[in-house]
Amino acid sequence: MNVDQELRRLFADDRLDVPAKAGAAEAVVAGAHRVRRRRVAAGAAGGAVLAALLVTGGVVLAGMGSASQLPPAGPGLPTATPTAQTTIAPTEPSDALRYPTAGATDPPSIPASR
């Protein structure tokens, strides 16, 4: 007899069989449903906590930025009064701008009007 036939004979022996209890298949399916429900509930709770943290962080960051730009509130603070605007009179352009010549130090002569 070869090894393959001997192993088949041993594994076909009814004395090695382990009988399953009645209702074992239903118990496995029910356990799988329980695990799935717990996993879904944990994911939903984790998502809700994460959303709450993101909203809270956004509100805190938005509040920090706007609070530093606002003036302090309270009675008796000095108010800004409008000041008089000053105007600057236009000035005459300098001779260098009036007579642009390359390399010349004196402005060119202007012909006399008739």
DSSP per position, 49-71? HHHHHHHHHHHHHHHHHHHTTSP
Ordered by start, the domain boundaries in the chain are: 27-58
User: Higher pLDDT residue, 91 or 13?
Assistant: 13
Other residues' Cβ atoms within 10 Å of the Cβ of residue 99: 13
- The residue among 31, 32, 54, 35 whose CA lies nearest residue 43 is 35
Tell me if 107 sits within 8 A of 95, measured CB to CB.
Answer: yes
- What does pTM read for this prediction? 0.40
- The residue among 30, 48, 29 whose CA lies nearest residue 40 is 48
> Token pair 């010349």 is at which residue?
104
Is 42 a residue whose pLDDT tops 60? yes
Q: How confident is the model at residue 40 (pLDDT cuts 50, 70, 90)?
A: very high
Q: How confident is the model at residue 26 (pLDDT cuts 50, 70, 90)?
A: very high
Model pLDDT, residue 19? 84
| Cα 78–Cα 81–Cα 84 angle in degrees, nearest 5 | 155
User: Higher pLDDT residue, 70 or 109?
Assistant: 109
